[in-house]
Each structure stands twice: as structure tokens, then as C-alpha cells.
Structure 1
Amino acid sequence: MSRLLITSHEDFEKHLGEKLGVSEYHTVTQEQINKFADATLDYQWIHTDPERAKKEGAFGTTIAHGYLTLSLLPIMWEQVVQVENFSMLVNYGIDNFKFGQPVLVNSRIRTHVWLKSIANLRGISKVQLKVSMEIEGNKKPAFEGEATFLYHFNK
């Protein structure tokens, strides 16, 4: 999969309003869900108890934490765009996120990314992305929203 190469604020500006690409598919496993539960101390049974989820849950199986799917955004972003020539990247914010569809265990997901806006803040590039996480075989996305990163490009 080829990635878009960005090395400056001006490179980003060329793609304003465009779809930048789609990440690779990632399969969400029960092991990954369990590790996320360990990291966040969120052991709600709908995520971590496959037998109970099968019997009592609305989906017949466990589902990924919404924040687990959101936490995959940085790695999926790196699969879409290769940004070089910067000294620092800061996760600046997330806005208007809606979780529209649960991600069932063993689902394959990928993220679509558009460049919504870009601003030069005294030499720092504020990059706002529109993102949508697709679940293979589903019409509704797992989530949609906006993520903002600050890139400190080298001169």
C-alpha cells in the first residue's frame, strides 16, 4: 500500500479538502480487547467475558471498547500518510466523535481519512482530519469524527 508523503506545511496544504487515503485492515482480537481492558481497568463483561456476552449480550459476542478503536487512529493514520521532516508531533484534540456501530471481536476495521483544514500557527502546522472507521461488511462506520494533530516541521 503506497502512502502519501508529506514533508512540509505546504505539502499538506496541497491536499486541503481531499481524501488522503485508507489504512490497512486490522483484525480486533479478544487478546487485544483483554489487553486494553488491563491497560484501562475497564473490565465490563461485554468486552471481556465471551461466554456471558454470547448468552446475555445484544451482539452474541464480545465487542471492542469504543476507546480501543479510537486508540488505533494514530497507527492507521501512519498507514495513510508518511510525514517526514518534523521534530515533534502532538495529539491536539478530537472533536465531534460519534460511535455509530460496535466492533465485534474478530472484525476487520480500517480508517478513511480526509484533510479537513490546516493552519499555520506561528510555524506549527495544525492539521485537522475528518476520519471514519469502517467495519468490513457493515454500512455504518464504527465511528466518525475529527482528529487534530500539531506538526512541528523542521525549517
Structure 2
Amino acid sequence: MLTVELDELDHHKDSVIGYSPWKTITQEMIQAFADATGDHQWIHLDVERAERESPWKSTVAHGYLTASLIPLLNQQVIDVQGKSASINYGLNKLRFPAAVKSGGQIRSKMELLDVSRIDDQRTLATYRTTVEIRGEDKPACVVENLAMYIR
């Protein structure tokens, strides 16, 4: 994990910050996400049908489940010091190139694209997060995620 002072964050611009540990996506997580969002499509929940009919031969995680794990994964990659709070400010260019099968493992790769001082209290960081799938060529998710750091 990279530990960095907020005032020195820009020294890491245009570089890979690091990688999170691998996290397993369980069928229980997929079910809980489906229940929370109301997205009960069979490709996520019907294990027997998915094994027979889906192109992945398995149930798969919702793309937005994968995206929702980015804060959890990324907080294991970087620890920005000298702030009182971090706010998920938004996303740019969200894409889901590949599906994550139930039981698959993912991790995030973080790159710092930009750092902007908004005012004396706020700094906006733009990261490119690539959610990789263990053993797969294509990532599950690629996104520019924005973090607002408050002093």
C-alpha cells in the first residue's frame, strides 16, 4: 500500500499506484446485490440455467456490483494522509469489457491521472481503476473514478 501526504499526491501523477489484494466474488454476494437492486436476471442467479445456457457457463456478477467494490479495493492500494474525509465524487468513462463469474477473483489496479486543488479545503484526484479478473485477459471494469479529499 502506498501511504502519501495529500500535498505530495501529485508526485505520483501519471503512474501506477499499485494493486489491491484479490477478492473472491461469491454467489452470496451476487444474490445480495440482486436483492438490494432488484436486478434478478437469471444470468446472475439461476446457477443451473446459467451452466446450461449462458455464454460463461456460470452465473456472473452484475457489472455494477463490480463497480461498487472499487472503493473497497482501492482503499487497500492507497492511503492519503492529511485529509479529514474522502468522498466518492463520481465516475467517468465506465466500461465492463468482461464478466466476472461466480467464484472468480478480482483486484484493482490504480493509476493516478490528475490532481487538482479546488480550493484550500478540497483536492480532486482522478484515478483510472482497472478491475482485473484472475486468469482472464480482459478486465471486468475500467473507469476513471474521482475522489474528493477534504482537509
When normalised by structure 1's length, the TM-score is 0.93
Q: How far did residue 38 of structure 1 move?
A: 1.0
2:82 pairs, out of 85, 94, 99, with 85
How many Å separate the matches in 2 of 1:35 and 1:129? 28
Q: Which moved more, 1:144-153 or 1:85-94?
A: 85-94
Secondary structure at the residue paired with 2:86?
A: strand
CA deviation vs aligned residue, 1:95-139 (integer Å, no higher than 9, x gap): 111110110110111010000000000121100001111101111
Cross-structure match for 1:110: 107
Structure 1 counterpart of 2:125, one-letter code:
V
Cross-structure match for 1:99:
96
**Matching residue of 1:122:** 119
Partner of 1:66: 63
SS of 1:69 mapped into structure 2: helix
- Range that drifts further, 87-96 or 102-111: 87-96
One-letter amino acid of the structure 1 residue matched with residue 72 of structure 2: I
CA shift for structure 1 position 88: 2.1
Give aligned pairs, total: 150
Q: Secondary structure at the match of 1:86?
A: coil
* Rounded Cα–Cα distance in structure 2 between residues aligned with 1:120 and 1:19: 21
Confirm or deny that 1:145 pairs with 2:114.
no
- 2:29 is the alignment partner of 1:5: no
SS in 1 for 2:95: strand
Deviations 1:32-60 (A, max 9, x none): 10011111111111001101111221211
CA RMSD between the two structures? 1.0
Residue 145 of structure 1 and its aligned partner are, at CA, apart by 1.6
* TM-fit CA distance, 1:23: 0.3
User: What is the TM-score with the length of structure 2 in the denominator?
Assistant: 0.96
Q: 1:93: Cα distance to partner? A: 1.1
* C-alpha deviation, 1:144, in angstroms: 1.0
Which amino acid in the other structure matches residue 44 of structure 1?
Q
Give 5+ residue unaligned stretches, structure 2.
none
Q: What do the CA deviations read for 1:66-101 (whole angstroms, capped 9, x no partner)? A: 000001100111110012332222111101111101
Percent of residue pairs identical? 36
Moved beyond 2 Å, runs of 4+:
none
Name the residue aligned to 1:34. 31
